[in-house]
Structure 1
């Protein structure tokens, strides 16, 4: 459940996702069944998301965006705003109330670049699914001590510490401390 948009806390983002998915799917000439087949996300989930009453994983949103042929940010951004430079959408909440991931901005790269602000409350863990080949993350810690688990190894990063790595493999962000951890993450595809 770690990488799920939660409807109670994130009503605006889920409303954007519902409206954006419906609009972008139609623009791509896909009905819900065709999108399910192409994306690997169940039709039942697509119906629920478009109805605004489903929690969906970030990785499933990635699959839907790829199947429609749009960047992830197009599914979560406020459609009434033309900009991708100031998105500020909560896309993940952990079990700890302080834990969240905020997609701050995105700009085109080979495909796309995204800037995220993360907070992990004490004891929180985020398990990331691998991104497609060619994607990379750059993180920099601003507060607390972040443990990055990557390729079976873990390393701690204090404020000012940073890492650059391929995100096309399983990885996790962990807070083993009793204080909040804050860091920025750039995802580049």
Structure 2
């Protein structure tokens, strides 16, 4: 899945869902705390957005993040395998593998970071948590300015309502899974 592919899915799904809810672009923008320009750019397939802001838009539209970013033709609504983030050089990525209903939603992600790559995340809404499992390499997780080193085979659970950062400070590729519950 290319970054262009996911933008097309978001564009089509966003327009359809916004119209189903009878919301103008401005109304949706106000409810999701983003600009109208952001909504217009997403609907035209020309704008990228943070995963956190995309999740806020999905929440306003009363759908899961996975439904917003997945192909409308997907046969199983809980299996996605959609690449949602890619570094500028293409060596690092995040892929939403699957999701399952929970109190609201649970998502399983695969993350790969090349040596020296970093992903900065905005704080998620209150009540969200993450469970990480490192498959290969060493993940440097920064939460509220405190670094945690997680080696292969390590797990870590935290409330993601603070800004956080994933970094691969090692020399080998990093592969980890991320489970998000909200």
TM-score, normalised with respect to structure 2? 0.95
Q: Which residue of 1 aligns with 2:159?
A: 166
State the distance in 2 between where 1:129 and 1:55 align.
15
Whether 1:57 aligns to 2:45 is no
State the distance in 2 between where 1:178 and 1:16 align.
35
User: SS at 1:63's partner residue?
Assistant: helix
State the distance in 2 between where 1:172 and 1:62 align.
18
Shift of 1:178: 1.7
Q: Which residue of 2 aligns with 1:81?
A: 74
The runs of at least 4 consecutive aligned structure 1 residues that moved more than 3 Å come to: none
Q: Which residue of 1 aligns with 2:111?
A: 118
State the distance in 2 between where 1:88 and 1:134 align.
25
Aligned pair partner of 2:149 in 136, 142, 156: 156
Q: Which residue of 1 aligns with 2:61?
A: 68
The number of residues matched between the two structures is 182
State the distance in 2 between where 1:163 and 1:66 align.
26
Closer/same/farther in 2, CA of residues 43 and 53 from structure 1, 3 Å limit: same
Q: What is the Cα-based RMSD across aligned positions, in Å?
A: 1.4
Whether 1:136 aligns to 2:119 is no
Shift of 1:31: 1.3
Shift of 1:168: 1.1
User: SS at 1:127's partner residue?
Assistant: strand
| Residue segments in structure 2 that go unaligned for 5+ positions in a row | none
Shift of 1:139: 0.4
